[in-house]
Amino acid sequence: MFAQRAKPASVGRVGLPFTIMGVVNVTPDSFSDGGTFSDPVAAIVHARRLAGEGAAMIDVGGESTRPGAAPVPAEQEHERVVPVIEGIAGLNLPVQISIDTMKVAVAEAALDAGASYVNDVTAFRHDPDLAALVADRGVDCCLMHMLGEPRTMQDDPRYDDVVDDVKAFLLDRMHVATAAGIPEERIYLDPGIGFGKTLEHNLELLRRLDELVAIGRPLVVGTSRKSFLGRITGRDVTERVHATVATTVIAFERGAQVFRVHDVAATLDALQVAAATFGRWPAIPTRTTTTKTT
């Protein structure tokens, strides 16, 4: 049996009851920021900016997982992410570097380059050898739920009960990971918002997130700029910051600990206020304001 209470995440700013994972996509076609950081220097500068804004983790990805995205060969993904991870590691920022990949060859090179966290949206189903690599290197990993594969995942996804089904999947993948030798305290879990889910599935998962928190491992939540937020608000991908922040606060209230976002500064403000309100963090100002207000 797995422990019933989540152990604190092994990363994060000291004293904060949450961890912000800033997204750096080194891709031409990501749904959220495709092409913006294809240049390694732009990606490294962006990572430094996200760290300065409060990200304690930087998640570097070289293959888009948006619905219908074309698969990227391992060599090309390697060429995209490795120079960026080396560059970020060379800056000695107070961040943990995560590699967002489903391929063992890419993960291995990323770990060699300075990453210490493997974020696999297939939870070791695409490349079962990835579990052994994570175990061997003694690094952290995130196991995410996805129904099907990126090319087809949004074609009429169905569940008996989305939360029960996702929970059963995550427990099963945790068993696979621990059987491969990964210690339980190295494992983070993620419901995979938007990965083979309708708008209602995503909202149901957010509403009942506490049922996944009860598994006992830190929960990662990635709602950032996703299309279900656009469906509710009618806003384009670049205008979904406020909607993202709303879901982040809801997820935090329900017990999630790690937030994978593109907009770090807004997320930090919201989580600080939420944490102070819920009594999980002292309401001590960290910055002075220039205007006096009530």
- How is residue 219 annotated by DSSP? B
Question: Which range of residues in 36-44, 186-194, 198-206, 210-218 is near ligand HH2 by CB under 6 A?
Answer: 186-194
61 scored as a contact of ligand HH2 (CB under 6 A): yes
Question: For the window 270-289, what string marks contact with ligand HH2 as x by the rule CB under 6 A?
Answer: --------------------
Decide: 129 and 106 in contact? Cβ < 8 Å: no
> Hey, what long-range contacts does 153-160 have (CB within 8 A, 24 or more apart)?
153/67, 153/195, 153/196, 154/67, 154/196, 157/196, 157/197, 157/198, 157/201, 159/201
Indicate whether 122 belongs to the interface with ligand HH2 (CB under 6 A).
no
Name which position in 19, 25, 244, 272 contacts ligand HH2 (CB under 6 A): 25
Shortest distance, position 290 Cβ to ligand HH2, whole Å: 33
226 given a catalytic annotation? yes
Select the residue interacting with ligand HH2 from 6, 23, 182, 241 (CB under 6 A). Answer: 23
Question: According to the binding rule CB under 6 A, does residue 121 interact with ligand HH2?
Answer: yes
CA distance 220 to 189: 6
Question: What kind and span of H or E run contains 168?
Answer: helix 162-179
202 binds ligand HH2 (CB under 6 A): no
Q: Which residue among 208, 225, 226, 240 is the active-site one?
A: 226
Q: Which of 174, 193, 270, 275 binds ligand HH2 (CB under 6 A)?
A: 193
Shortest separation between residue 13's beta carbon and ligand HH2, angstroms = 20
Instruction: From residue 143, give the alpha-carbon distance in Å to each of 93, 119, 261.
Output: 25, 7, 17
Please work out the total of residues on this chain that contact ligand HH2, with binding judged by CB under 6 A: 21
Report the Cα 31 to chain-centroid distance in Å.
15
What is the edge-to-edge ordering of all strands in the sheet holding 96-100?
A: 187-190, 140-144, 117-120, 96-100, 57-61, 19-25, 258-261, 220-221
- Contact flag: residue 96 with ligand HH2 (CB under 6 A): no
| CA–CA distance, 277 with 111 (Å, rounded to integer) | 38
Selected from 58, 60, 220, 271, the binder of ligand HH2 by CB under 6 A is 220
Least distance CB 288 / ligand HH2 (angstroms): 33
Binder among 12, 18, 20, 31 for ligand HH2 (CB under 6 A): 31
Side-chain-side CA neighbours of 60 within 13 Å: the count stands at 41
- 184: tokens are 């339980």
Binding site for ligand HH2 (CB under 6 A): 23, 25, 27, 30-32, 61, 64-66, 100, 119, 121, 142, 144, 190, 192-193, 220, 222, 260
Residues designated as active site: 226, 260
